[in-house]
Amino acid sequence: MEGFVSFTNSLLIMRLSIFVLLNLFLLLPLSAQKKKENPSRNPAKSPDLAQYYINLKTSPRAKQAPPVVSSLPLSLTKGDRIALIGSGVLDNARHYGFFETLLHQRHPQHQLSVRNFSWPADEVDLQPRPANFGDLDQHLTYYRTDVIFAAFGYNESFAGSEGLPAFKARFDAFLSQIKTRAYNGTSGARIIVLSPTANENVKGVDAAERNNENLKLYTTAISEIASKNALPFIDVFSATASAMTEGENDLTTNGNQLNQAGQLLLARTLYRQLFEETAPEPKENIRELVVDKSVQFFHRYRPLNTFYYTGGRNKRYGYLDFLPAMRNFDLMVANRNEAIWRTAQGQQGIVNDSNLPELEQTAEGRGANKWLSPKDELASFQIDKRFEVNCFASEEQFPDLACPIQMRWDSRGRLWVSCSTTYPHLYPGKKPNDKIIILEDLDGDGKADKSTVFADNLAIPLSFVLGRNGVYVSEEPHLIYLADTNGDDKADHREIVLTGFGCEDSHHALHDFVWTPDGDLMFRESIFHNSQVETAYGPVRAKNSSWFRFRPESHKLTAFGGYPNTNPWGVTFDDWGQHVASHPIFATAFHSTNAPYPSQHPRANGIPAYSGVCGQEFIDFPFWPEDMQGGFVKVRYKPTNRVEFHRWTESGDHFREQFQFNLIFSKNLSFIPVDIRFGPRGALYICDWYNPIKGHAQYSLRDPRRDRKSGRIWRVIPKGAELQEPPRISGAPTLSLLELLKRREYRYRYWAKRELRSRPKQEVEKQLTAWVNNLDRSKHRFRHHQIEALWTYRGIGSANPKLLLDLLDCDLHHARAAATRQLRYADCGLSSRERDNQLLISSKDESELVRLEAVTAATYIATPQAFQAVLAAIQRPREAHLNYAIRTALGSESLLPFWRKSTPLTIEQFMAAFNLSSKTKAGSSTLNARDAAFDSQANLAEIKISCIPGRLLFSQKKFEVEAGQAVKLTFTNPDATPHNLLILQPGTPVESVGMAANEMAKSPEGAKNNFIPEDDRILLSTKMLAPNSSETLRFLAPKKPGIYPFLCTFPGHWVLMKGEMVVK
C-alpha cells in the first residue's frame, strides 16, 4: 500500500510538473519556443539538384553550328525560346513588360518563352559577373535559346569617336561568335541587333547634348557590323531621339534610363520594325503576368548571395541553400508562362504553383545563442553606472518592428526604422514584405506609443535616408526612391534611381546611407561585390567594395575609396566634416577616386580599421558627461556585443580613436546592435537586430533558427539628466534653420541642412548670403559657422567663391582642410585656373590634414596642375594616412595617365618606400640563439599558413610532418580582421573548443585572453594576430601519429577556419 501511495504521489507530482512547464512554455513568445540552441544533423544532398547549378567552371557550352539567315519582318515559330541580352535598356524593360506582352498578343498560339539576360553597363566583351557565375554563353545554352535580341553600344559610346574602330572589331567578334552557336542544341540562333536608345535633356543633366552625337555614331557602326554579319538591325535611336525632342513629357528618369512612357515607346518601335505593322495597345492582364514572370526569373538568374551560390563560400551550405530554390524558380517561371499563354488565347490565366516541391531541409550550423525577452535582455546588460537604459520599442508592442536594421529621425521628431524579415535571402514563393515604419513617442515618456507602416513589400532595405521630400532606400541591386505624395505617411511613389549594384552578399550590399555635410548622398558596398551602373555620364564600375557619392540634382554618381575591406559598417562625420567609419576609422584619407577598373587601391597596412562595428555617434549634447564631450559612442556586434565610448584625438595627419569604457556590455550574444542615433532631445537610441543566429558564412541562409519576429530599440540617457527641448525643424522659418547651424549639436545641424535642401534654392540662397555676411568674427566658432555656410551653399546647388577663398586663407587649419575639400567639385564657384592654384597652395600647407585634402581633391580635378599638387605634397613630411592618400591618388584612374608612361624619380622613390612600409609586420627579425639553433636543424619542416582575406579560410587545410620532426610554422594574417591559430590534441572536436571561444565573447575579458579557452587539449597557439601581422611557432611534432586539428578561435570563425596537421 505504501508503495502504491508513493507511486500515486510521484505520478501527481510529475503531472503537475508537466502542467506547470507546459504553461510556462505557452507563455513564452513563439520566437523563443522555436529556437533550438543545438543544430540538427546535416541532411543528405540530392544528386538530382545538380542540374540546376549554372556555373562558370562546369556548366556546358553550346556546340558550333552554321549561322541561320534571319530577316525582317521576323517570323517566330511555336515554342520559340527568346533571349534579351545587352545592357540597361533591356534590363530595365523587365519592370514594364510592354515588348514581351506585344509578342504574346501577336502570337497567342505560339507559347513563346522570353528570358531577360541583360545586365546594366554590359558591353560586348566586358560583362563582370559574380565569382564562378555562369557566363552569357552558358545561360543561353542552359535555356536552349532560339532567338536573341542583342542591345549593346550605349556604354561603349563613352569612348567617343576615338573608340569606334575598337568597338567595331569587338562587336564583330561578338556577333561572329554567338551566331555560330547552337544554343538550342540543333541550330544557330536567329539574332536581331538593336541600336541604343537616345538620351534626353532633363532637369539636372543635359544628357542629350552630352551623349547623342556619340550615340548616333555608334548606332551607325552597329548597323554596319550587323549588315556585315548578315543580321537584321533595328534603329531605336532615331525614334526615341525624335520623341524626346518633340514630346512634352520626359521619357527617362535621369536622362538615359527610360521611364514607363519611354519603355512603351521602345516596345512600339521594336514591334513596328520587327513586324512592319503598328503595335496594338498592350493588354494589361497579359502584362501583369509578364512582369510577375520576369520577377521570378530575375531571382533565378541574378539571385542574392551569389558568393554563397557559385562563389568561394558555396561549399558548406550552397548546395541545399540554393539548388532547391533554383529548381522551384524555374518551375515558377514555367507556371507563369502557362498563365500568359492561356491569357493570350482569351482564357482565364491564373498562376498555379501547386507543383512546387517543398525545399529540401538545409544543414544547420553551430548552436544558436539564447533568446531572451526584452525584459530579460535588459537585465543581461552590464550598464555603466552613470547611465540608465530603457526599451523604447520592441516586437512585444509593435510586431512590425521585426529584424530592424537602420534608424533615422525626421524633422518632426519621429523615428523611422527599416526592418527586414526577408534577410538574408529571398526564396521562391515567399514574396518579400520588408518595411519602413515610423515610431512616435506621443507623451514624451521615452517609450514609443504609435507605429505607422510607411512602406512595405520592400526587399532587404539594408539602409535608407530621408531627404529631398522622400526616402532613398537600398534594395539590392537598386537604389530606390520612395515618396508620400498626399501626406498620409504612406509611400505611394516608387522609382528606381540607379541599378546594377552588386548582390553577391546581402549583408555587404549598399549600406551606410548618409548625407554628407555638403549635401551629397554617400553610401558603400563591401567585399565580393561587382557593381556596374549606367549613368548619363558613363558607366560606373567597382569591384570588391567601394564608396559612392550620388548627387540627386545632377544624377551624377562617383565611385571612390575602393580597397580590400570586410564588414565595414558604420558612418558619420566629425565637427569639421571628416569622414569617420569602421574600416577604416579615419576614412577621410580614403577619398581618392578609384583605381582603373577592375583593380583596387592597396590595403592600408598600419592604418586602424576594424570589422564588426555598425555605427558611431559623436557626443555633443551638453547634458552628457563632460569627459565624453567630443568623443563618440559606437556599437559593436563582434566578437563581443557592446556599446563603446572612444575619445577622438587629433594626431598629425589624422584623428584617432581611443577606447575608454563600455557604456553597455551584453552577456547575451543575441544582442546585435546595428545602428545608433541621437534623438532630438538628446537621448541615445540603439537599434538591436536581436537574433540568436548571427552570421552569413557560419549558418545556412535557410537555417530555421533565424529569428523573424524580434526587434528592439534601446534608449540611453545619463542618470538624472534633464533632456532638452528640441528646436523646431519642420516648417521653421529659413532664418531659424540657418541659426541652427551655430548649434554645437551635430544632429540639429544635420536635420536643419536637410530641411533647407528641400526648400526653393533662391529663397535659401538669399537668406544664407545675408546670414553669413552678418556673422560675428569675434565668436569662437566663427570659422565653423562659415564652413557650415559653405556646405549649405553646395547643398542647395549654389556656391560662394568669396567665402571659399576666405576660408582657404584663414588661420585655422581645420577650416582650411574643410575648404580644400570643396576644391574637388567643379561647381565650387572658382574658375579652373583659380582652383588649380588654390590646390597647389593647399598641397604645401603646414598642416598635414590640409595637404591630405589637397592630394585627394587632385583625383577629382585631374588636370596636369592637380597632378603637380600631389608631387608637391610628396616633398613635405608625411605620416601613414597622408602617405596612403598620396599612394591612392597616384593610383587613381584620373591621375595615372600623368605619370605611368614616364615615372618621375620622385614617384619611384615614394612608391618604393610605400611598398616597403606596407609589408606584413612580423616579430623581431633578429633571432635569438635558441631560435637560430632550432632553425638550423637539417630535418626542419617549414610550414607557412595564412588566411585568405575576406574568406574566413586558412590558405592550407592540411599539412603533414613526421613524428618528432622539428617544425617551424609561420602564421600570417593579411586579412582585415584578427585571427589566431590553435593546434589541438587528436580527436578533439573543433566545435567544443570553438563554442568555448564563443562563450568567452560574453565577457570583456575574452578579448584580453585572445579568445583562447582554458583547455588541456590545446597543444599550441599563436596570439590573436592583428591585421597584417605574423607569428612563428617552433615545436617538435608529437611522437604519436595522428590527425591534429587546428582552428581559429575568433568567435564564429572556427566554423570555416579549420584544418588538420597530419603527423606520420
Question: Are residues 815 and 787 in contact, defined by beta-carbon separation less than 8 angstroms?
Answer: yes
Q: What pTM value is reported for the model?
A: 0.89
- Dump pLDDT digits (tens) for 238-259: 999 999 999 889 999 999 999 9
CB 550 within 8 A of CB 498: yes
Contacts of 93 (CB under 8 A, 6+ apart): 84, 99, 100, 116, 118, 263, 266, 267
- Ranges 483-497, 994-1008, 1023-1037, most confident: 483-497
Q: Any idea which of 98-112, 116-130, 602-616, 703-717 has the lowest mean pLDDT?
A: 602-616
Candidates 3.30.390.30, 2.60.40.420, 3.65.10.10, 3.80.30.20; correct CATH number of 931-1063? Answer: 2.60.40.420
For the cut 50, the answer to whether the pLDDT of residue 318 exceeds it is yes
Give the pLDDT of residue 919.
64
Supply the mean pLDDT for the chain. 93
Q: Nine-digit cell at 269? A: 518601335
Q: Residue 96 above 50 pLDDT?
A: yes
* Domain-wise residue ranges, the chain: 51-344, 374-569+612-718, 931-1063
Q: What is the pLDDT of residue 337?
A: 99
Q: Is the pLDDT of residue 1029 over 90?
A: no
- Asked if 1050 contacts 1011 with a C-beta cutoff of 8 angstroms, the reply is yes
What pLDDT is stored for residue 41 in this prediction? 61
Instruction: Provide mean pLDDT across the span 668-690.
Output: 97
pLDDT value at position 616? 97
Please state, in angstroms and rounded to a whole number, the distance separating the CA atoms of residues 72 and 917.
Answer: 64
Place of cell 537602420: 406
Q: What is the pLDDT of residue 901?
A: 80
Summarize the chain as % helix, strand, coil (round to 5). Answer: 35, 20, 45
pLDDT in tens, 624-655: 999 999 999 999 998 889 999 999 999 999 99
Q: What is the CATH number of domain 51-344?
A: 3.40.50.1110
pLDDT tier, 33 (very low <50, low <70, confident <90, very high otherwise): very low
Residue-wise pLDDT for 43-74, tens only, equals 778 889 999 999 999 999 999 999 999 999 99
Label residue 920 by pLDDT band (50, 70, 90): low
User: Which pLDDT score is estimated for 42?
Assistant: 67
- Would you tell me how many other CB atoms lie within 10 Å of the CB of residue 754? 21
Q: What does residue 430 show for φ and ψ, rounded to 5 degrees? A: -115, 90
Give residue 163's pLDDT. 98
CATH architecture of 374-569+612-718: 6 Propeller (2.120)
What is the band of 8 on the pLDDT scale with cuts at 50, 70, 90?
very low
pLDDT score recorded for residue 927: 60
pLDDT over 90 at 916, yes or no: no
Mean pLDDT (whole number) for 557-564: 96
- Read off the pLDDT of each residue in 26-41 and give the average, rounded to a whole number: 43
pLDDT, tens digit, 9 for 90 and up, residues 989-1022: 999 999 999 889 888 888 889 999 999 999 999 9
In terms of C-beta distances under 8 Å and separation of at least 24 residues, what long-range contacts does 290-295 make, across chains too? Answer: 290/97, 290/100, 290/101, 290/104, 290/114, 290/340, 291/94, 291/95, 291/96, 291/97, 292/336, 292/351, 293/333, 293/336, 293/337, 293/340, 294/94, 294/95, 294/97, 294/100, 294/116, 295/94
With helix as H, strand as E and coil as C, how does 784-824 read? Answer: HHHHHHHHHHHHCCCCCHHHHHHHHCCCCHHHHHHHHHHHH
Residue 843 has pLDDT above 90, yes or no: yes
